[in-house]
């Protein structure tokens, strides 16, 4: 693991939660083993940050495997039924009760984090991610929102193929499919209008910027790298995090027309709290000895 030890380090001991789609990704196994969270976690840990990854939840003392999320989560969802019967009600209650543990621990990780990184591609359905973002923003925590280019090169190739062979029926079927599923190209990565005031305009990123750090961390080339080479990020997350490690960012004040201090960035020094508590105990013990010099 790479470690950055020289100079000032604002990210050392900072706590970060990684939010993003999990249910409707192309492959849960691949996402867990080599998805964006794996790289961002490694990058943040190199600066000494504590990273909360919902794929690898921390253990809960006294509650074995509480909130664990794996292939069983998908199987649980498959049990769901809308049947208006006693058995249907029992099944729905079981689904809700079981997944409550996952929801509970994920939101608790948001609670104890200093800031949140949220990956929100516009083509993937997600409910938990907006929930976590809203919880963080209600607590005035920064949410670093990544909205990358959404393109479908395979769809473009299929359309060209259908044109080349003159398959008009195939083109009609493809057109009908595109209107019924979220096949909406978004090459600029423009986020939902609802997110803009929720996040604030200064915390949006159109890519991760993995390429600059790929050799350093020995990351193999994958689909994300290929997309970012085709659509180079104008504002990359990792570059922002590297800068954040040395200096707190400012925000744009529309009323004053200039950049001002952003007091959402409260990176608490927990080590200082511990030292202060220890100093207080020593001080109290010393005072006690002055008042009662013969006390044990």
* 22 pLDDT tier (thresholds 50, 70, 90): confident
Q: What is the pLDDT of residue 8?
A: 72
DSSP letters, 49-105, are -EEEBTTBPPPBTTBTTTT--SHHHHHHHHT-----SHHHHHHHHHHHHHHHHHHHH
Task: Please write the tens of the pLDDT for every residue from 126-184.
Answer: 899 999 999 999 999 999 999 999 888 888 899 899 999 999 999 999 888 888 877 88
CA–CA distance, 164 with 154 (Å, rounded to integer): 15
Average pLDDT over residues 33-45: 93
Q: What is the pLDDT of residue 256?
A: 94
Q: What is the pLDDT of residue 131?
A: 96
In three-state secondary structure terms, 139 is coil
Task: Please write the tens of the pLDDT for every residue from 76-114.
Answer: 888 999 999 999 999 999 999 988 989 999 999 999 999
Helices (H), the chain: 28-34, 36-45, 71-78, 86-111, 128-138, 153-165, 168-180, 195-199, 214-217, 223-230, 237-244, 270-291
Q: What is the pLDDT of residue 80?
A: 92
Torsion over CA: 129, 133, 138, 141 (sign)? positive
Q: What is the pLDDT of residue 276?
A: 59
CA–CA distance, 35 with 27 (Å, rounded to integer): 10
Q: What is the pLDDT of residue 199?
A: 94
Domain boundaries, the chain: 15-150+186-269, 152-184
The answer to pTM > 0.95 is no
Lowest-pLDDT range of 5-14, 94-103, 190-199, 225-234: 5-14
Average pLDDT over residues 112-131: 93
Angle at 128 between CA 126 and CA 132, to 5 degrees: 125
* 293 pLDDT tier (thresholds 50, 70, 90): low
Evaluate if residue 296 carries a pLDDT over 50: no
Q: What is the pLDDT of residue 77?
A: 82
Average pLDDT over residues 208-217: 96
């Amino acid at each position: 693991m790479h470690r950055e030890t020289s100079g000032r380090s604002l990210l050392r001991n900072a706590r970060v939660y990684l939010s993003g789609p999990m249910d409707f990704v192309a492959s849960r196994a691949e996402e867990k083993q080599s998805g964006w969270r794996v790289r961002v976690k490694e990058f943040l840990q190199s600066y000494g940050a504590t990273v909360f990854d919902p794929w690898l939840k921390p253990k809960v003392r006294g509650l074995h495997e509480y909130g664990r999320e794996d292939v069983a989560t998908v199987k649980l969802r498959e049990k769901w039924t809308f049947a208006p019967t006693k058995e249907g009600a029992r099944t729905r209650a079981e689904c809700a009760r079981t997944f409550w543990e996952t929801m509970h621990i994920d939101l608790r990780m948001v609670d104890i984090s200093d800031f949140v990184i949220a990956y929100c591609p516009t083509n993937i359905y997600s409910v938990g991610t907006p929930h976590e973002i809203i919880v963080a923003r209600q607590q005035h925590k920064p949410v670093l929102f990544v909205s990358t280019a959404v393109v479908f090169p395979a769809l473009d190739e299929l359309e060209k193929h259908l044109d080349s062979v003159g398959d008009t029926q195939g083109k009609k079927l493809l057109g009908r499919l595109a209107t019924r599923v979220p096949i909406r190209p978004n090459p600029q990565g423009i986020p939902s209008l609802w997110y803009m005031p929720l996040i604030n305009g200064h915390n949006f990123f159109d890519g991760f910027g993995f390429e600059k750090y790929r050799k350093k961390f020995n990351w193999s080339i994958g689909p994300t790298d290929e997309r970012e080479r085709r659509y180079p990020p104008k504002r990359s997350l990792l570059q922002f995090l590297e800068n954040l490690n040395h200096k707190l960012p400012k925000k744009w004040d529309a009323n004053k027309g200039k950049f001002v201090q952003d007091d959402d960035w409260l990176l608490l020094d927990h080590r200082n709290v511990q030292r202060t508590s220890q100093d207080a105990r020593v001080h109290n013990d010393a005072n006690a000895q002055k008042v009662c010099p013969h006390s044990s």
